[in-house]
Amino acid sequence: MADFYNICLDIGGTKVLGAIFDKNDKIIYRLKKKTKEGGDNSDSVEKVIISVVEEMINESGINKKDVRAIGVGAPGVVDSGKGVVLFSPNLPWRNYDIKTPIEKKFGVPFMIGNDVNVGVLGEYKYGAARGFKNVVGFFVGTGMGGGLILNGKLFTGNEFKAAEYGHMILDPEGPLCNCGQRGCLEAFSSKKGMSAYILQQASRGRETMLAENIENGVFKSKALKKALAANDEVTVEAVDRACHYLAVATGNMINTISPDVVIYGGGVIEAVGDIFLKKILKEVDKYCMPSIRPTVKLKTAELGDDSVIYGALSMIK
């Protein structure tokens, strides 16, 4: 069999991760770069995809003709069938057909899906959820993403909007979430939610080393890890609260779906997943039905930052 390659991208609001996979699914080239500020010019991110893919082909030295397919995970509501981004909170795309121009440019099949959906698919095909059939994934980052594998297939619901666990309401009187609701999981357990708690406590005069590391309402996962290692009291409280609500949300998803496995991924889990999983496991039994609990496993993701690019590979294979 002649050599061929698949090119996969994870496009975030601030950065793009890229990988070239060979025919044996080995990564032979990697790229990481900042997403240009897109403003409201909706084709600028398409230009980023094209320039990144071209750069990867050139820098890696592979032959352009040997590229077999391109797969992308991107934030927002994505119609995977049509290759159209319907809405993206952090990128300037609205009902934007990304498939047509990319396929025209490179002459190969192109697939795009919601980044967290695709990340959970990656864990299902190559990571912590291999061999399971029904998978619930929570991805803890700036926000809180979700993904759902049912009967071995990515489930995206009506109009590709399923698995928004981050906006499951756990306390109707709770803190305001970016989405406009109150007491969403994201408002407690994401970087944004934890940062808000830390800033609130700091504003009450409490000392915390993490407060000064919060920029634009969010800390970096590394700073969280450092503050936890230093046993910073307010940080520990924020994490306890985050894990408490993650345990409740996990219980709710277990009762609702009765999955085989629940996977925790994303930047926060990559940095301090062991601490999160331990705290969640300590509480989750209280929040799911005793008859269902023994049939579900809870695990941290295995692919780290690569969940989405492996998921993109799964889509195009």
Binding residues with a second copy: total (CB under 8 A): 48
Closest by CA to 163, choosing from 138, 126, 128, is 138
Q: Which is nearer to a second copy, 160 or 310 (CB)?
A: 160
3-state secondary structure 184-211: EHHHHHCHHHHHHHHHHHHHCCCCCCCH
The one among 107, 152, 157, 217 contacting a second copy by CB under 8 A = 157
Which residues between 252 and 271 bind a second copy (CB under 8 A)? 252-253, 255-260
Terminal-residue alpha carbon distance, the chain: 16
Centre a 10 Å sphere on the Cβ of residue 173 and count the other Cβ atoms it contains: 7
Please report whether residue 280 would count as binding a second copy according to CB under 8 A.
Answer: no
CB of 292 to a second copy, least distance (A): 5
**Binding segment toward a second copy, per CB under 8 A, in 26-34, 114-122, 159-167, 191-199:** 159-167
Closest by CA to 149, choosing from 116, 175, 124, 178, is 124
Q: Is the dihedral of CA 184, 189, 190, 192 positive or negative?
A: positive
CB of 203 to a second copy, least distance (A): 25
**Binding segment toward a second copy, per CB under 8 A, in 32-40, 57-65, 109-117, 147-155:** 147-155
Please report whether residue 146 would count as binding a second copy according to CB under 8 A.
Answer: yes
Please report whether residue 159 would count as binding a second copy according to CB under 8 A.
Answer: yes
The one among 50, 150, 209, 277 contacting a second copy by CB under 8 A = 150
Please report whether residue 286 would count as binding a second copy according to CB under 8 A.
Answer: yes
DSSP-based three-state secondary structure for 311: helix
Helix, strand, coil shares, percent, the chain, to 5: 45, 25, 30
Which residues between 70 and 89 bind a second copy (CB under 8 A)? 77, 87
Please report whether residue 95 would count as binding a second copy according to CB under 8 A.
Answer: no
The one among 82, 133, 226, 279 contacting a second copy by CB under 8 A = 133
Backbone angles phi, psi at 264, to 5 degrees: -110, 120
The b/e string for 212-240 (b: 16+ C-beta within 10 A; e otherwise) is ebbeeebbebebbbbbbeeebebbebbbe
The one among 170, 224, 227, 263 contacting a second copy by CB under 8 A = 170
Please report whether residue 100 would count as binding a second copy according to CB under 8 A.
Answer: no
DSSP string, 210-259: TGGG-BTTB--HHHHHHHHHTT-HHHHHHHHHHHHHHHHHHHHHHHHH--
**Binding segment toward a second copy, per CB under 8 A, in 20-28, 51-59, 214-222, 283-291:** 283-291
> Which residues contribute to the site for a second copy (CB under 8 A)?
77, 87, 133-134, 146, 148, 150-151, 155-165, 167-172, 179-181, 244, 248, 251-253, 255-260, 286-292, 295-296
